[in-house]
């Protein structure tokens, strides 16, 4: 009887994958700041403290325009492209912020909790999957853009921002740690003309870059986003750190081990040795995060599944260095 129920559930899962209309929409924050700006040093710490509470919901990039000081170290590292992205939004002062392509009024704080929370739990018909491979100084970036639903009419471009995750630098304004620093745009600062695939299909793009010796290669990653050039709205964004959404999972995917799976009330995850676990999250078939509690017991994590409805989920586990994802089936127990 259990085998029959499991088979029916699996068929329902397959149907849900083919019928998926949307994916999680990340909150894309373009943060315009300057290493010689004292106001930036005053506002940025609270901004970082806030967005660090939502590591699986936010994509962040810090761009360094020449205002108020054109001798900012990170601005000078790429004056043309920092200028261009700032001019795209008409930036006249730092710090400034654009959320999903919408420039915000300058305020204190730079970003309020209520403003950020209003952007959470939204969906997009476009899902962006990013894979990166490195050989020596060469980095290849494979971007797959899935049209899960009907893409709104518009003129779109695909941007691949090369970002340095963390830079330790004693800036003149007193900031010592700089996050997600913009280095370069591929294929150029103007982006690549992008025609979305038909519904149910995807578009592949491959980019390659030789890593600059002044960058820390271990901290470099690509932040990819699709933007409507007519409205500036960012349809969605993606990085290699994002958990895999259900529409992209193959039946054999199993980077985490659950015991049991399928599960009813609880399941346990085996934690790889020497991993410092930062977060454990559960996502439904729409790519939305589900409330869940977990307990760490040595090299195992207990997930409490009481609040989840029976169905198909993805569990993502983030450590300091890795992201793990795997499928989990929640049964009703009847």
CATH number at residue 214: 2.60.40.10
Boundary-marking domain end, from 216, 238, 260: 238
Does residue 37 share a domain with residue 11?
no
Which residue, of 206, 238, 270, is where some domain finishes? 238
How many domains are contained in the chain?
2
Q: Is residue 239 a contact partner of residue 59, using CB atoms and an 8 Å limit?
A: yes
Q: CA torsion 32→35→38→43, rounded to 10°? A: 40
pTM of structure:
0.74
- Residue 164 and residue 273 in one domain: no
Q: Give the domain CATH number at 290.
A: 2.60.40.3080
**Quick check: bond before 187 cis, omega within 30?**
yes
Q: Which of 207, 238, 269 is the last residue of a domain?
A: 238
> Do 199 and 220 share a domain, yes or no?
yes
Query: Do 154 and 44 lie in a common domain?
Result: yes
* Count of Cβ atoms closer than 10 Å to residue 96 Cβ: 24
Could you tell me if 232 and 84 lie in one domain? yes
* Local confidence pLDDT in tens for the 334 residues of the chain: 333 333 333 333 333 433 456 788 999 999 999 999 999 999 999 999 999 999 989 999 999 999 999 999 999 999 999 999 999 999 999 999 999 999 999 999 999 999 999 999 899 999 999 999 999 999 999 999 999 889 999 999 999 999 999 999 999 999 999 999 999 999 999 999 999 999 878 899 999 999 999 999 999 999 999 999 999 999 999 999 987 654 444 433 446 788 888 888 888 888 776 667 777 878 776 566 677 777 777 778 888 888 888 887 888 777 766 677 778 888 877 6
Tokens of residue 82, six digits = 């920092």
Q: Quick one: 83 and 204 in the same domain?
A: yes
Element (H, E) at 285: none
> Which residues span the domain enclosing 220?
27-238
Query: Are both 305 and 323 inside the same structural domain?
Result: yes
């Amino acid at each position: 009887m259990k085998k029959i129920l499991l088979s029916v559930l699996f068929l329902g899962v397959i149907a849900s994958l083919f019928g998926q209309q949307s994916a999680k929409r990340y909150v894309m924050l373009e943060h315009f700041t300057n290493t010689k700006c004292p106001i930036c040093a005053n506002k940025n710490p609270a901004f970082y403290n806030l967005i660090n509470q939502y590591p699986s919901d936010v994509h962040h990039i810090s761009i360094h325009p020449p205002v108020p000081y054109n001798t900012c170290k990170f601005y000078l590292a790429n004056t043309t492209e920092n200028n261009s992205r700032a001019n795209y939004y008409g930036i006249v002062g730092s710090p400034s912020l654009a959320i999903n392509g919408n420039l915000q009024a300058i305020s204190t704080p730079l970003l309020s909790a209520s403003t950020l929370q209003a952007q959470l739990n939204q969906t997009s018909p476009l899902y962006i999957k990013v894979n990166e491979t490195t050989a020596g100084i060469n980095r290849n970036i494979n971007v797959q853009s899935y049209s899960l639903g009907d893409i709104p009419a518009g003129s779109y471009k695909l941007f691949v921002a090369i970002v340095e995750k963390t830079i330790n630098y004693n800036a003149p304004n007193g900031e010592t740690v700089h996050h997600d620093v913009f280095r370069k745009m591929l294929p150029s600062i103007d982006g690549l003309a992008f025609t979305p695939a038909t519904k149910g299909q995807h578009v592949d793009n491959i980019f390659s870059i030789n890593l600059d010796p002044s960058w820390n290669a271990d901290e470099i990653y690509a932040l990819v986003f699709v933007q409507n050039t007519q409205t500036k709205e960012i349809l969605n964004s993606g990085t290699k750190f994002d958990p895999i959404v259900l529409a992209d999972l193959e039946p054999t995917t199993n980077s985490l081990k659950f015991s049991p799976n399928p599960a009813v009330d609880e399941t346990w995850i085996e934690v790889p040795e020497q991993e410092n676990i930062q977060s454990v999250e559960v996502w439904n078939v729409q790519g939305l995060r589900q409330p869940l509690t977990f307990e760490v017991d040595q090299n195992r994590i207990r997930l409490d599944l009481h609040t989840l409805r029976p169905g198909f989920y993805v569990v993502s586990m983030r450590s300091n260095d890795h992201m793990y994802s795997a499928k989990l089936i929640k049964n009703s127990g009847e």
